[in-house]
Amino acid sequence: MGVGSVPASLVVNVRRLVVVVVMISLAGLVPMPAAAPSHDTATVAATAVARDRCGPILRKSNGNRWRCSFVENFKGRKLNRDKWIVQESTKSRFNTGLTCYMDSTRNIKVRRGKLRLITRKGPTKVCGAYKALVTRFTGGMIGTKGHFSQTYGRFEVRAKFPASKESGLQAAFWMYPVEKKYGQWPESGEIDVAEWWSRYPHLVMPSLHYDGRVKKFDSGRQCKVRDVARFHTYRVLWRPDIMRFYIDGRQCFARSWTPNPPQERPQPFDHPFSMILHMGVTQYYRETRITNRTEFPSALVVDYAKAWR
């Protein structure tokens, strides 16, 4: 059929088809610009890309980044002895309350990415602790002394405590000086980041111990958790002039300490401390003592432990 015989309407339709095809092709080659992401979206995207050993990069209040200095996610089937030491009362002669700390899989377990420190009640035994402790109770305690310590920084664990509301149990995430620079306890200091007693099941208390401690002001009795048997994050930001304590990202306690002379702040919190986790029993005060209804076994479960400088 000759060109001259093509109806005019057909020519117009062909031209329209060509225009549509060209537009579709250009659309594939040159896509329309996407809408600019909101500020929050851009922040999330940047955070997702910027990571280190501890996870997403975190920023200090001055804008500088926190640098990961320690991380333990409790992978594998046993405790990593390159990061942790185990408290053994029979060797160290150290105990708390009536707890004989054991280096045993009955008291310390790592499985499914979680650490479990377990306190148990068993036959009466003589534990080689101070004054040859005679007890029926064993527990688990681990620390980073000899493997990791740090002066100042950010320290955090994600953990859950037993659901028990009967007195007798005690567990904590705390920090202790590597060297007794200023003398025996409490002269060289102690930092309790999250200490829990089953007698006060909703209280997970931070405290500072030093020469000059004022109990009323050096413990965060307002740091409470509705359900301690669920995972929460417990954190301290340790600076030379103040310590700030957080639960799930919210500050619940802050303290600028004033030691007795001749010490001056930042003493005694101006030298390296190691991190400690423990689960045991308590016998210090009448209201916290073990009863016939205290639940055994009971466990402190830890998802991770981390530190930044």
- Domain spans in the chain, listed from the N-terminal domain onward: 8-41, 68-308
Rounded-to-integer distance, Cα 74 and Cα 224, Å: 26
pLDDT class for 12, splitting at 50, 70, 90? very low
* Continuous segment of H or E residues that includes residue 177: strand 169-177
Predicted TM-score of the model (pTM): 0.83
Predicted confidence at residue 139, as pLDDT, reads 98
* CA atoms within 13 A of residue 149's CA, in its CB half-sphere: 15
pLDDT class for 48, splitting at 50, 70, 90? low
> What tokens does 112 get?
């499914």
Tell me what the pLDDT averaged over the chain comes to: 87
What pLDDT digit, counting tens, does each position of 248-267 carry?
Answer: 999 999 999 999 999 999 99
Q: Which of 43-57, 114-128, 153-167, 285-299 has the lowest mean pLDDT?
A: 43-57
Question: What CATH architecture is 68-308?
Answer: Sandwich (2.60)
With vertex at residue 203, the alpha carbon angle to CA 159 and CA 184, rounded to the nearest 5 degrees, is: 85
CB 306 within 8 A of CB 67: no
Beta 169-177 vs 153-160: how paired, if at all? unpaired
pLDDT class for 108, splitting at 50, 70, 90? very high
Residue type, 180: K
Residue 44 predicted with pLDDT over 60: no
Residue 75 carries which DSSP code? Answer: -
Average pLDDT of the segment spanning 9-13 = 42
Rounded-to-integer distance, Cα 76 and Cα 109, Å: 10
Residue 2 predicted with pLDDT over 70: no
Q: What single string gives the DSSP state of each residue in 89-141?
A: HHHH---BTTEEE--STTTEEEETTEEEEEEEEEEEEEESSTT-EEEEEEEEE
Q: Which of 10-14, 49-53, 143-147 has the lowest mean pLDDT?
A: 10-14
Predicted confidence at residue 255, as pLDDT, reads 98
Rounded-to-integer distance, Cα 104 and Cα 206, Å: 28
Predicted confidence at residue 34, as pLDDT, reads 41
What pLDDT digit, counting tens, does each position of 150-202 carry?
Answer: 999 999 999 999 999 999 999 999 999 999 999 999 999 999 999 999 999 99
Residue 13 carries which DSSP code? Answer: H
Alpha-carbon Rg for the chain, nearest whole angstrom, is: 29
Question: Between these two residues, 125 and 57, which has the higher pLDDT value?
Answer: 57
Rounded-to-integer distance, Cα 275 and Cα 176, Å: 7
Residue 284 predicted with pLDDT over 60: yes
Residues in the chain: 309
Percent of the chain with pLDDT over 70: 83
With vertex at residue 256, the alpha carbon angle to CA 250 and CA 257, rounded to the nearest 5 degrees, is: 130
